[in-house]
């Protein structure tokens, strides 16, 4: 079975997509480091969400079109190999540090519990429902959302593939709007900011936005809009919108949950569409080797930057020194993680992918 000609072919723009990851992880670091002027840089996580939804759906669609089916066993195994080894190394280092420096067994137990919340991908819910934990591993809330998405989306997609392409698009559009509408309704009911920010149900729309783009593309539904949507003025306007939000948005504001997240999703989709359909100056900028390099190790950068910020702060670093030295240390550790842990696991993942063809 041949791959549908509308299905996105990513090989020509992988560098630029890694560049998008690089920008996203830089934004997240600036936000967590408290760099002035980047109050909205947390949208880097949402850029990751949209990109993840898009890429995972494209890969699953391609597998289905190639083989006539989707192997859930191989999908989950690939995800485990991609995500778990680096996380286990981080948690091992984290627990080793705290078991050495913790003053008592209660403190050790506290950090062991935080590590367990992260390992079993429930950190978003523990934070959403007011536990304010894990603390030093608080960034694992987004990893939990991603993992919960990976757990359910292939199953949902298998059901959707029984419908025609129009039905698939309608269903995912409804799911996207339902997540957004549910978040707005919870906001109106006085839900806590932590509930709105960390809940899988209230953030699924960002992942579903990427899924929707992949399905629209696969159905050929964007063909008549291709020239307009991929026009440089549209792509650059979308990039500018994200830039403005990165320096103006606030995570504890109603407007963010009502419509700014919708803008983040739309802008990211337009950038992805422009990169894939009409490579231009932005594609070249995002393909800048140092940025691509950061995108390549972005998972490790995300894993390590947050606990390292806490560690450096605990040991007396602050201000610009905290930002600079933590950035240097994070990049160094992430390179080690990539070559020592992630790349070997990725090679195993690629062998699995080759075996299914």
Return the closest-CA partner of residue 157 out of 98, 207, 115: 207
Residues in the chain: 357
Region 153-168 average pLDDT = 97
The pLDDT of residue 3 is: 36
The pLDDT of residue 4 is: 43
| pLDDT higher than 50, residue 2 | no
Check residues 23 and 223 and name the one with the higher pLDDT. Answer: 23
The pLDDT of residue 350 is: 74
Q: Break the chain into its structural domains and give their ranges.
A: 11-355
Reported as a pLDDT band with limits 50, 70 and 90, residue 348 is confident
**Percentage of residues of the chain with pLDDT beyond 90:** 87
| pLDDT higher than 70, residue 7 | no
Long-range contacts of 282-288 (CB under 8 A, 24+ apart): 282/16, 282/232, 282/235, 282/236, 282/239, 283/13, 283/16, 285/19, 286/15, 286/16, 286/17, 286/19, 286/20, 286/22, 286/23, 287/15, 287/16, 287/19, 288/19
Token pair 């949402």 is at which residue? 46
Distance CA 317, CA 315 (A): 6
Q: Assign 33 to helix, strand or coil.
A: coil
Reported as a pLDDT band with limits 50, 70 and 90, residue 340 is very high
Would the CA dihedral through 103, 105, 109, 110 be positive or negative? Answer: negative
Region 99-124 average pLDDT = 97
Segment 236-262, tens digit of pLDDT: 999 999 999 999 999 999 999 999 999
Three-state secondary structure string covering 187-237: HHCCCCHHHHHHCHHHHHHHHHHHHHHHHHHHHCCCHHHHHHHCCHHHHHH
CA distances from 244 to 87, 198, 267 (A): 32, 23, 11
The pLDDT of residue 88 is: 98
Distance CA 107, CA 59 (A): 43
Give me the chain's average pLDDT, please: 94
Our measurement of the distance from residue 78's CA atom to the centroid of its chain's CA atoms, rounded to an integer in Å, reads 17
CA distances from 202 to 46, 196, 228 (A): 12, 6, 31
Distance CA 108, CA 95 (A): 8
Distance CA 32, CA 136 (A): 12
């Amino acid at each position: 079975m041949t791959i549908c000609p509308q299905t996105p072919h990513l090989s020509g723009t992988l560098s630029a997509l890694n560049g998008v990851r690089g920008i996203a992880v830089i934004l997240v670091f600036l936000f967590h480091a408290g760099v002035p002027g980047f109050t909205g840089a947390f949208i880097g996580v949402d850029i990751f969400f949209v990109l993840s939804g898009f890429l995972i759906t494209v890969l699953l669609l391609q597998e289905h079109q190639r083989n006539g089916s989707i192997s859930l066993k191989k999908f989950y195994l690939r995800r485990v190999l991609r995500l778990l080894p680096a996380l286990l190394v981080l948690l091992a280092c984290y627990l080793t540090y705290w078991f050495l420096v913790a003053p008592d067994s209660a403190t050790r137990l506290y950090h062991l519990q935080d590590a367990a919340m992260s390992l079993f991908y429930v950190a978003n819910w523990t934070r959403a429902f007011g536990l304010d934990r894990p603390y030093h591993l608080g960034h694992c809330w987004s990893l939990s959302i991603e993992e919960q998405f990976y757990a359910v989306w292939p199953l949902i997609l298998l059901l959707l593939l029984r419908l025609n392409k129009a039905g698939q698009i309608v269903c995912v559009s409804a799911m996207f709007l339902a997540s957004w509408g549910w978040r707005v309704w919870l906001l109106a009911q006085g839900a806590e900011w932590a509930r709105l920010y960390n809940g899988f149900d209230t953030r699924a729309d960002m992942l579903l936005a990427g899924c929707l783009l992949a399905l629209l593309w696969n159905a050929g539904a964007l063909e008549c809009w291709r020239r307009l949507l991929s026009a440089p003025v549209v792509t650059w306007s979308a990039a500018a919108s994200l830039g403005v939000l990165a320096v103006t948005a606030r995570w504890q504001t109603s407007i963010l949950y009502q419509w700014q997240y919708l803008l983040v999703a739309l802008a990211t989709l337009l950038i992805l569409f422009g990169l894939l359909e009409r490579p231009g100056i932005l594609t070249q900028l995002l393909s800048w080797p140092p940025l691509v390099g950061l995108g390549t190790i972005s998972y490790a950068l995300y894993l390590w930057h947050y606990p390292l910020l806490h560690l450096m702060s605990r040991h007396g670093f602050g201000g610009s020194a905290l930002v600079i030295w933590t950035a240097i240390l994070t990049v160094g550790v992430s390179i080690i993680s990539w070559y020592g842990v992630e790349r070997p696991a990725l090679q195993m993942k690629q062998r699995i992918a080759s075996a299914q063809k």
